[in-house]
Structure 1
Amino acid sequence: MKKTMPTAVPQESDTVEWKKSLGEWKEIVETCAALASADGGRIWIGVAPDGQTVGVQVGKGTMEGLANKIAQNTSPRQTPVISRVARGEKTLIIVNVTESPAKPVYAFDRPYRRSGCTNQRLSTEEAMHLFMASRAITWDYTLPDDASMADIDPAVVRRFLKVAKAERQWDVSSDTPAEQVLRQLGLIRDNRLTVAAVLLFGRNPQRLMTQAMLRCARFKGTNEVHFLDMKVIQGNIIEQVEEAMAFVRRNTRMAVEIKGLQREENWEYPLDALREAIVNAVCHRDYASSANVQVRIFDDRLDVWNPGGLPEGMTVNDLRGVHESKPRNRLVANAFFLIKYVEQFGTGTGRIIADCLGHGLPEPEFESRPDRFRAIFRPRAITESTKTDAELNDRQRSALAYIQKHGHITRSRYEAELGVPMRTANRELKDLVVKGVVLRHGAGRSFRYVLAGVGGKQVASNGKQVASDRKVPS
């Protein structure tokens, strides 16, 4: 506690606070806690809210009394350096607050943190996150009440070992006792199960954590008004991923494309990209939140939601390139790495983007808020030609592929190639003509069917337009 030379008063900011008088000592204590929970800073006492220097009266024991009030009403106990400065004929007091290694800091039994020019009182959830982050602890490292080895399913542990050995050559025998496996994975602490142990291998994790569920829904249209299908998935989080993918396959379409004479089937969305998004949601969600991971399927998009935004300091733009891996649940992430659900190199979102673009889909959208993260997938743009293609049967698509290769097809060739009677061949060829996909040329027995020209191009077997310099046969 010392007197220093005159100095300019800086503007209020995330590290600077003004207080008019020592009569605001309770607010000063709260500001100390807020600054200590962030990056530290200074409190200038004797400065009015409009920035006017009004000064304070400093008597014997003034600064000692302020220091005691701060120390007695903060936890962890804060002991800032307090000094006084002269500014003209005025005396100001400066409280220098350093960043606390243990966070959050409480004032009057309430947690605070500095945000901009204000002191924010933290919710229980926010205080818990800050507590764990400052101690390099993730939530899945905590110890749930009333959990024992009786809650662990040994069969799930054995299946995990089998996959881990196949995918990562993890050298642990498949007959290793479940408790020993959990200890090797760091899932037992102080002889008690961690949250991660229950989430990964529990018989019924929802008994201890009701929020650890995954909700899937298929809606009619583009909003959440009418359900077509819904499933609430419980059980361990490894099985949740597989059940969610089964729901996705059941509720998304498969497109059929003929290339040459080969039939290719492609899902409406690339399954590898969706799986990566669901794994990320389950692995990196905030399990302290009461919300659930959700997969929402609409006519025009598929959304994957998870509670909890991006790690501090990371932005949505960072996800488009290789970035540092900052798992919210390190123990879960480590187990997922062993079964090759994640790579732990910050490349997951990059693979999602590349997979979508590689399948001709738009780049997925990522949206991050403090309480949630959302990945939005959109299908290919629907054109009139693809709509028409969707209305064709497999024989008609094969016929289009034949025409594309040979220039034309006759009714008799349609019968022979596709093994149908004359009546069926006539009906299906006529349908192609009515839909505008093919044109009929010739007369009598010389009827031939060729691809319909569209603006100097032709419609290919997959419904797309292709350039053609082939002469129309007569």
Structure 2
Amino acid sequence: MDDYKKLMDDLPNKIVQQLGLVVDIDLHEKESRHYIEVTVPQSTVPISYHGIYHYRSGSTKQELKGTALHNWLLKKSGRSWEDIPVPGATADDLDIDTIQSFLKKAISKDRIPASAAEEDIMLLMKRLNLLTKDGELTHAAILLFGKRPYALSPTTSFKIGRFGKSSSDLLFQDIIETNLLTMIEKIMDKLKDRYLIRPISYKGLERMEPLEYPEPALREAILNSIIHKDHSSTWIFLRVYDDRLHLWNPGILPEELTVEELKQEHSSYPRNRNIAGVFFKAGYVEAWGRGTNDIIKACKEAGLPEPLIEENQGGLSIVFLKDIYTAEYLRKLDINERQIKAVLYIKEYGKVTNASYQEINNTGKTLATEELSDLVNKGLIQQSGTKGRGSRYELVRKI
């Protein structure tokens, strides 16, 4: 590098002009070759290049814009969207019934003192970290307790839709417009009333009518979507299909967590600390990061597949599957293609016999018997009818 002396003069000026940063430039020599070391100090303010902000995620550089830039700038200033004051908001904008319901729950859980029920509303908001230093109600306060939180942002509401075969086939929909603390019950009531069925079965003489998806798992997933949502972004969407239920909320996982780590023992990293804190005090959630594990456990105990969880389109998606008898799901199990073919045959025709197993798989009786027995032992199918030639196999879980 023959022009290193010129670079030593030019680099500091160019960096100051383009980035506003003062850096240290040092010249080094190794094996008769010169090289320049540029030391960039950590900045306490965001740095833009030609008016564009960037950040590094792992080994890639991402451009920050729109909502992501707004939230990043807030984070750099030590705040989040939930902490922003709502100009002109007063105690009159808060719903008394919601506050009383919260106090009753929180006191019964012993998470706030009984004396809180006698306190001034604004003092309660202060104790819940829902006031700014200047005594203004924050976004979180209006979202949690407000009479009309959708006036703050229309996307604070929750959208539910019933679809046909595809996402373009919307049959009907509902929008839940209420504050966050009453939202979960209104959503669950609407799902039970209009969207989900209760298959009837019997345990002895007892009539059983559980929801087609385990209610604790649904409730936990919906609570998580409300609490961890990026409330400065779009709506939460709950799409109900014949064979699945798809919940999506805006806001990717925190840097400390991956989707796989969600399924293991992990700590809690709430996006909205104050909103999460109020839900905790009301007894809706625990602060142990066990929600995802509880969802998976409830689905498995109900005989359903593990929900599909992934990050997409800037948010977190969870899909509850009603049917364990799909080729995609069966291939995740410890069974072979002949067994998968037989299970799908039963799904279509209602039953399979040893003879028909042999026919559809072009195999012998001994192997057919072994593989059918294996499917029985794995809890996928059950044997019915008489033993021997009259024996047939059906699905354990009715579709």
Q: Taking structure 1 as the reference length, what is the TM-score of the superposition?
A: 0.65
Partner Cα distance (1:338, 1:458) in 2: 57
Judging changes above 3 Å, is the alpha-carbon distance between structure 1 residues 56 and 168 closer, same or farther for their aligned structure 2 residues?
A: farther
Cα deviation code 1:387-437 (max 9, x no counterpart)? 99xxxxxxxxxxxxxxxxxxxxxxxxxxxxxxxxxxxxxxxxxxxxxxxxx
Alignment of 1:96-245 (within 5 A): 96-100=39-43, 102-114=44-56, 120-171=62-113, 172-189=115-132, 190-221=134-165, 223-245=166-188
Partner residue, 1:356:
299
Shift of 1:240: 1.9
The partner residue of 1:274 within 218, 223, 227 is 218
Partner Cα distance (1:96, 1:305) in 2: 43
Contact 2:87 2:136 in 1 (8 A): no
- For residue 70 of structure 1, what is the amino acid of its counterpart? I
Shift of 1:130: 2.7
3-state SS of paired residue (1:375): strand
Check if 1:58 corresponds to 2:5. Answer: yes
Shift of 1:464: 4.9
Check if 1:327 corresponds to 2:270. Answer: yes
- For residue 56 of structure 1, what is the amino acid of its counterpart? D
Partner Cα distance (1:369, 1:118) in 2: 17
Shift of 1:341: 1.7
Alignment of 1:370-381 (within 5 A): 371-381=314-324
Check if 1:265 corresponds to 2:197. Answer: no
The partner residue of 1:70 within 6, 12, 15 is 15
Judging changes above 3 Å, is the alpha-carbon distance between structure 1 residues 458 and 242 closer, same or farther for their aligned structure 2 residues?
A: farther
Higher deviation after alignment, 178-187 or 367-376: 367-376
Partner Cα distance (2:48, 2:264) in 1: 38
Shift of 1:380: 4.3
Cα deviation code 1:70-100 (max 9, x no counterpart)? 34543xx533221122355554322122433
Partner Cα distance (1:192, 1:163) in 2: 25
Partner residue, 1:412:
none
Cα deviation code 1:179-225 (max 9, x no counterpart)? 1111110100121111100100111111121221110011123x223
3-state SS of paired residue (2:156): coil
Contact 1:303 1:375 in 2 (8 A): yes
Shift of 1:57: 3.7
Shift of 1:275: 0.5
Two-structure CA RMSD over aligned residues (Å): 3.1
Partner Cα distance (1:458, 1:257) in 2: 24
Partner residue, 1:392:
none
Partner Cα distance (2:313, 2:255) in 1: 9
Partner residue, 1:423:
none
Shift of 1:55: 4.7
3-state SS of paired residue (1:255): coil
Contact 1:141 1:187 in 2 (8 A): yes
Cα deviation code 1:107-140 (max 9, x no counterpart)? 3543222457775432142233333444553321
Cα deviation code 1:216-264 (max 9, x no counterpart)? 011123x223333310111211222212111221211112212222222
Contact 2:131 2:138 in 1 (8 A): yes
Partner Cα distance (1:88, 1:247) in 2: 75
Q: Taking structure 2 as the reference length, what is the TM-score of the superposition?
A: 0.76
Contact 1:218 1:298 in 2 (8 A): yes
Partner Cα distance (2:349, 2:324) in 1: 11
Judging changes above 3 Å, is the alpha-carbon distance between structure 1 residues 463 and 112 closer, same or farther for their aligned structure 2 residues?
A: closer
Partner Cα distance (1:174, 1:327) in 2: 27
The partner residue of 1:453 within 382, 385, 391 is 385
3-state SS of paired residue (1:113): strand
Shift of 1:298: 0.4
How many percent of aligned residue pairs carry the same amino acid?
A: 31
- For residue 67 of structure 1, what is the amino acid of its counterpart? P
Alignment of 1:23-34 (within 5 A): none
For the pair shown, the structure with the greater C-alpha radius of gyration is: 1
For structure 2, which runs of at least 5 residues remain unmatched after alignment? 326-342, 351-382
Partner residue, 1:472:
none
Check if 1:298 corresponds to 2:245. Answer: no
- For residue 201 of structure 1, what is the amino acid of its counterpart? F
Choose between structure 1 and 2: higher helix proportion. Answer: 2
Contact 2:109 2:282 in 1 (8 A): yes
- Number of aligned residues: 342
Cα deviation code 1:22-71 (max 9, x no counterpart)? xxxxxxxxxxxxxxxxxxxxxxxxxxxxxxxx453414xx6465334434
